[in-house]
Structure 1
Amino acid sequence: MDRQLFPKELNGKSADEKIKYFKNLTIAHPKLMAAFKGFKEKISVADNNEILLVFGPSGVGKSTLFNKIITYYNELYMEEMLMDKGLIPIVGEEAVAPDDGRFDWKDFYIRALTSLNEPLINYKINIDANKGLIPSEKGKSAYRRAMENALIYRKPIAFLIDEAQHISRISKGKSLRNQMDTLKSLASKSRVPFVLFGTYEILKFRNLSGQLIRRGIDIHLPRYKLEIKEDRDAFQSVLWTFQRHLPFYEEPKLVENWEYFYIHSIGCIGNLKIWLNRTVEYSLMDNYHKKTLDLNDFKKFEMSVDKIEKMADETIEMEKQIAEEKVCEIKERISRKLGWGINQYEENSLTSKPYKTKIKVGERKPNRDQIGIEEFKNEKTNL
């Protein structure tokens, strides 16, 4: 019990409170913090009308990073917000998956206006329609202009879009470039950088135009790789921290079976956390007095072998493509330094194959626990 990290008073609380505590727990693990640091650095030098990409495999923790960034900047600009009541330091919205196979921009604009606290959203009209102030069912342009104006007025440092791969879902006859042109226009009109968070699918946008998205300013949030010792140690450390926060009387033995948890999450902390959440919720609702968890409890909610294999294949393939791109970029830089100028590597990049459509994959107050890798290593020797 002394090793456990959850509040001791939680032992006397209800199952719902224990479940809520664990669900709201997030861990500040190395790859998450590296991506967070990278975002802060790159958004500080991004042009006002720039589009940035934050990408990684499904279930790696992109939504956790998304929420962490919003919380950080809201806290950072607290004093400014008290002085300027119109200021919203950063805005975030999810791109909702389309029901009919095409992304709904009007719905997106309305959701964005809600995030921007824009008044009278439901009364927006298209002032160009029928030469007068007549509401129109096709009033998408009115909502768009309202969003552009709200961004100018609210002065955020960035507009974040989670699950941005849904924007690439287009109807027949529509062009993916049209989707990206819409985003580019929004960023340009509002003078606010747009940041797309998504799976590797969003890399298709990057291939559309070298001028649209600078390759050096995007952020990759990768999984932990089994073949890299530092990654293995970090994954075990994250698992150990979760283990110590599980709200049961006896600490479950997750780390002793870390290979099992790695395989069924493919090294993605988001996948791992969702899995643990489901196990904790079911176990406590089924038996509030349950002393601890064992492997059989987790096996009820593990991903199937077929799904694991599919996710692993897709992720590894995209990792290879990114690595190959990186080599080409290094060669490009070398050739520039040697005075070659426009070269074959640039030409090749213009004709590179587009990315294939990939994977489809979800409050303790947002405080995050450091995972304590060194502490874990010391503890590991005593296990």
Structure 2
Amino acid sequence: MQYIESKFPPELLSDASEKKLDYFKKKIVSHPHLVQSYNLALDCIEFSEKGELVWIVGPAGVGTTQIVRRLWKDTSNAPSEPDEDGMAAPTTATVVVDAPDNAERINTQYWIRLLGDLLHAHGDVLIDRKIYVPPSQFTLTHPIPYADPRNRNFDTLKHAAISMLKHRQTQLLLINQADRLFPESHPSGCLQSLQILRDLAAQTDTRIVLIGSYQLARTACTRNNWLHRQHTVHLRRYDPTDSDEFNAYARTLINLLAHMPTEQRMETLSLEGAKKICISTVGCIGTLKRTLTRAFQHALRTGEKMTEDFILQFTPYNTVAREIARDAMHGERLLLDVSLDDVRSVLNATNPGASSGTGNSSNRSAPKKTTGTQGGFNQRRIGERNSSRDPAGGAYGPRRT
């Protein structure tokens, strides 16, 4: 039984229910998988080359949206740099868009919608045709006609988007729900999306980050191995069968419960209760936060005491959790790396003389030796750090912003 010590400001207890709920909704609790994935995302963004894409994938409800919000917060305030005339050019370091629904097909009209959303999110429609006139020296006598980018053709919008990204010196384009760009039922549309994204990245200094579910990973892994050729960040769920991961999940759960500003909050948590909540939320912190928010909102309205059984009423239905778990397991298998011994066995099968020491192998370099346990770091999942070599934070100098 773990005692839960309150961590919220005491004065919140006398505030209205709306303020209490708003405080909890905005509370972000860091946890190992989130910190690790965020730092790896920064590294991928910093070290990627022109035309390369960064992929952030994970199961539904794992918390990829938190990475998007933190990337936007940490990179959106970039200083303005002088233009050719010595004037301070307006910059937008980071822009975020959600990929629109696709109706299972990707075509030119779909990309007209997405490019239009990008232009609107950036605040520009005709960036290369604007001039600045001080308002005190000019009075409009006729209204400026509004040009809806969705009514323009694809090539015009693509050119406008590239011009805008260059002019605004945009360094980071975050596309949330990016799995919509790659529907499994439309291979040609997937190829079109990939080509357009690569064109945008190659013709600007913008790094493009795609954030999505394992559907993005499934499509990418089956379409010319795109995902493995790019920079991949895998934000995983916590595995309740692994003691270390379950303990990390339980600490995050306790931390969230400690920030509930109410007298009806839980004060203790049992090991069995934490295990049930972890399984019901499939080990996903995003799903856990939504569960606790719904339970907290209900308790504020009814005055009920929050218990483990009370919270379990607001977890996803078991049928939903089962489908999320199946999708998570399948996605993890897609991204699971192989050991160096597996690579060596393939090479030895191609060159039979290599393993037996016979044949013309005198000019071949000896295989690299592995250290540590069998398989070493090669057995970790794609998109994960090696904790012994890559600390989760503070290991690098200034980031690209």
TM-score for the superposition, normalised by structure 1 = 0.75
Quick check: 2:277–2:312 contact (8 Å CA) kept in 1?
A: no
1:139 to 141, 153, 157: 153
The change in CA–CA distance for 1:317 and 1:93 in structure 2 (over 3 A counts) is same
Map of 1:101 onto structure 2: 104
CA drift of 1:154 comes to 1.5
Which structure: greater helix fraction? 1
Moved more, 63-72 or 141-150: 141-150
1:269 to 285, 291, 299: 285
Map of 2:132 onto structure 1: none
The change in CA–CA distance for 1:156 and 1:329 in structure 2 (over 3 A counts) is farther
The residue type equivalent to 1:313 in the other structure is: R
Question: 2: distance between equivalents of 1:317 and 1:328?
Answer: 22
CA drift of 1:175 comes to 3.5
CA drift of 1:242 comes to 0.5
Map of 2:171 onto structure 1: 157
CA drift of 1:178 comes to 1.8
Map of 2:343 onto structure 1: 331
Quick check: 1:243–1:254 contact (8 Å CA) kept in 2?
A: no
Map of 2:316 onto structure 1: 303
The answer to whether residue 317 in structure 2 is matched with residue 313 in structure 1 is no
| Deviations 1:285-326 (CA, angstroms, capped at 9, x unpaired) | x23xx2641234324322111111111122112212322x44
Map of 2:399 onto structure 1: none
Map of 2:90 onto structure 1: 86
Map of 1:356 onto structure 2: none
CA drift of 1:124 comes to 4.2
Question: 2: distance between equivalents of 1:3 and 1:37?
Answer: 29
The residue type equivalent to 1:232 in the other structure is: F
Moved more, 262-271 or 222-231: 222-231
The answer to whether residue 220 in structure 2 is matched with residue 205 in structure 1 is yes
CA RMSD after TM alignment: 3.3
The change in CA–CA distance for 1:42 and 1:330 in structure 2 (over 3 A counts) is farther
Moved more, 36-45 or 233-242: 36-45
CA drift of 1:195 comes to 1.0
The change in CA–CA distance for 1:160 and 1:175 in structure 2 (over 3 A counts) is same
Map of 1:362 onto structure 2: none
Gaps (5+ residues) in structure 1? 127-135, 342-383
Map of 1:353 onto structure 2: none
Question: 2: distance between equivalents of 1:15 and 1:111?
Answer: 36
Question: 2: distance between equivalents of 1:170 and 1:312?
Answer: 20
Quick check: 2:173–2:206 contact (8 Å CA) kept in 1?
A: yes
Moved more, 157-166 or 183-192: 183-192
The residue type equivalent to 1:117 in the other structure is: G
Question: 2: distance between equivalents of 1:46 and 1:161?
Answer: 17
Question: 2: distance between equivalents of 1:197 and 1:73?
Answer: 17
The answer to whether residue 226 in structure 2 is matched with residue 226 in structure 1 is no
Map of 2:378 onto structure 1: none
Question: 2: distance between equivalents of 1:173 and 1:318?
Answer: 19
CA drift of 1:63 comes to 0.5
Gaps (5+ residues) in structure 2? 128-144, 349-363, 368-401
The change in CA–CA distance for 1:180 and 1:173 in structure 2 (over 3 A counts) is closer
| Deviations 1:317-366 (CA, angstroms, capped at 9, x unpaired) | 2212322x444897289959x6699xxxxxxxxxxxxxxxxxxxxxxxxx
Map of 1:41 onto structure 2: 43
The answer to whether residue 9 in structure 2 is matched with residue 21 in structure 1 is no
The change in CA–CA distance for 1:45 and 1:14 in structure 2 (over 3 A counts) is same
Moved more, 233-242 or 165-174: 165-174
CA drift of 1:214 comes to 5.2
The answer to whether residue 249 in structure 2 is matched with residue 245 in structure 1 is no
The change in CA–CA distance for 1:207 and 1:195 in structure 2 (over 3 A counts) is farther
CA drift of 1:271 comes to 0.8
Map of 2:384 onto structure 1: none
The answer to whether residue 299 in structure 2 is matched with residue 283 in structure 1 is yes
Question: 1: distance between equivalents of 2:21 and 2:40?
Answer: 32
Percent same amino acid among aligned pairs?
Answer: 20
The change in CA–CA distance for 1:175 and 1:114 in structure 2 (over 3 A counts) is closer
Question: 2: distance between equivalents of 1:142 and 1:170?
Answer: 28
Map of 2:204 onto structure 1: 190
3-state secondary structure, aligned to 2:60: coil
3-state secondary structure, aligned to 2:42: helix
The change in CA–CA distance for 1:187 and 1:308 in structure 2 (over 3 A counts) is same
Quick check: 2:240–2:275 contact (8 Å CA) kept in 1?
A: no
Question: 1: distance between equivalents of 2:14 and 2:53?
Answer: 49
3-state secondary structure, aligned to 1:26: coil
The change in CA–CA distance for 1:33 and 1:80 in structure 2 (over 3 A counts) is farther
| Deviations 1:169-209 (CA, angstroms, capped at 9, x unpaired) | 38868432122122222222334221111111112225434
Q: Give the aligned length.
A: 323
CA drift of 1:2 comes to 9.7
The change in CA–CA distance for 1:329 and 1:50 in structure 2 (over 3 A counts) is farther
The change in CA–CA distance for 1:213 and 1:260 in structure 2 (over 3 A counts) is closer
The change in CA–CA distance for 1:317 and 1:169 in structure 2 (over 3 A counts) is closer
